[in-house]
Structure 1
Amino acid sequence: MIRIEVSPQDIAASRFAISPLIETVHATWVLEGRVSAGALQAWAARWREPYRRLGRPGLALIQAISGHRGSGNVDFVAPPPTGVNVPFDRELAALRATPLDRAHEEIAQLTVPRELRAALEGPHVVRLIADALEAVWREIVSPEWPRFHAVMERDVVWRAGRLATSGWAAALDDLSAQVRWRDGGLDCDLSSDFVKRDLNGRGLLFMPSVFGSRVGVYLDDAWPYALVYPARGVGATQAGGGARLEALMRLMGRTRARVLAELATPATTTQLAAVMGQALGTVGEHVAALRGTGLITGARAGRGVVYSRTPLGDALVTGELTP
Structure 2
Amino acid sequence: MGIEWRLKPEDMARIRFAFSPMWELVASLRTLQDPARQALHLPWIKAVRPRLAGLDLAELFALVPADGYLADFLTPPPDTPLPDFAAELDRVRRADPERARHEAGLLSGPLDRFKADPAAGLRRVADALEAYWEACFAEYWPRVYGLLERDVLRRSRLLAQGGAHALFSSLDPAVVWTGDRLLIDRPWCTTEGLHGDGLVLLPSAFYWPSVAVMTAPYQSMLVYPVQGVGTLWEQGPPPAPDALAALIGRTRAQILLALAEPATTSALARRIALTPGAVSQHLGVLTGSGLTVGLRDGKRVLYRRTSVGDSLACA
Settle same-fold status: TM greater than 0.5. yes
CA contact (8 A) 1:31 1:44 kept: yes
**Structure 2 vs 1, CA of residues 249 and 98 (structure 1 numbering), >3 Å: closer, same or farther?**
farther
Q: Using the alignment, how far apart are the partners of 1:264 and 1:236 within structure 2?
A: 14
CA contact (8 A) 2:55 2:132 kept: no
Aligned to 1:201: 196
**Structure 2 vs 1, CA of residues 28 and 11 (structure 1 numbering), >3 Å: closer, same or farther?**
same
**Structure 2 vs 1, CA of residues 314 and 67 (structure 1 numbering), >3 Å: closer, same or farther?**
farther
Identity %: 34
**Structure 2 vs 1, CA of residues 188 and 93 (structure 1 numbering), >3 Å: closer, same or farther?**
same
Displacement of 1:24 in angstroms is 1.4
SS of the residue corresponding to residue 223 of structure 1 reads coil
Displacement of 1:54 in angstroms is 2.9
Q: Using the alignment, how far apart are the partners of 2:291 and 2:232 within structure 1?
A: 16
Structure 2 residue 241 is the aligned partner of structure 1 residue 248: yes
Name which of 106, 109, 112 aligns with 2:106: 109
Q: Using the alignment, how far apart are the partners of 1:126 and 1:282 within structure 2?
A: 43
When normalised by structure 2's length, the TM-score is 0.80
Name which of 97, 100, 104 aligns with 1:100: 97
Cα deviation digits, residues 202-233 of structure 1 (max 9, x gap): 210112223221221102x1110001123345
Q: What residue ranges of structure 1 are gaps of 5+ in the alignment?
A: none
Displacement of 1:309 in angstroms is 4.4
Q: Using the alignment, how far apart are the partners of 2:273 and 2:132 within structure 1?
A: 21
How many residues align structurally? Answer: 305
Structure 2 residue 79 is the aligned partner of structure 1 residue 82: yes
CA contact (8 A) 2:104 2:111 kept: no
Name which of 166, 169, 172 aligns with 2:168: 172
When normalised by structure 1's length, the TM-score is 0.79
Q: What residue ranges of structure 2 are gaps of 5+ in the alignment?
A: none
SS of the residue corresponding to residue 27 of structure 1 reads helix
Aligned to 1:211: 206
Displacement of 1:170 in angstroms is 1.6
Cα deviation digits, residues 265-322 of structure 1 (max 9, x gap): 3212222113433212332354456557776554343454322346776687788xxx
Cα deviation digits, residues 110-168 of structure 1 (max 9, x gap): 233xxx24344342432332121110112222223334334333433332343234211
Aligned to 1:272: 268
Cα deviation digits, residues 148-198 of structure 1 (max 9, x gap): 33433343333234323421122233322222222322221122x432221
**Structure 2 vs 1, CA of residues 293 and 37 (structure 1 numbering), >3 Å: closer, same or farther?**
farther
CA contact (8 A) 1:199 1:225 kept: yes
CA contact (8 A) 1:236 1:262 kept: no
**Structure 2 vs 1, CA of residues 237 and 120 (structure 1 numbering), >3 Å: closer, same or farther?**
closer
1:89 alignment partner AA: A
1:21 alignment partner AA: M
CA contact (8 A) 2:168 2:176 kept: yes
Aligned to 2:112: 118
Greater mean deviation of Cα atoms: 198-207 or 256-265: 256-265
How do 1:57-72 residues align onto structure 2 when only pairs under 5 Å count?
59-66=57-64, 69=67, 71-72=68-69
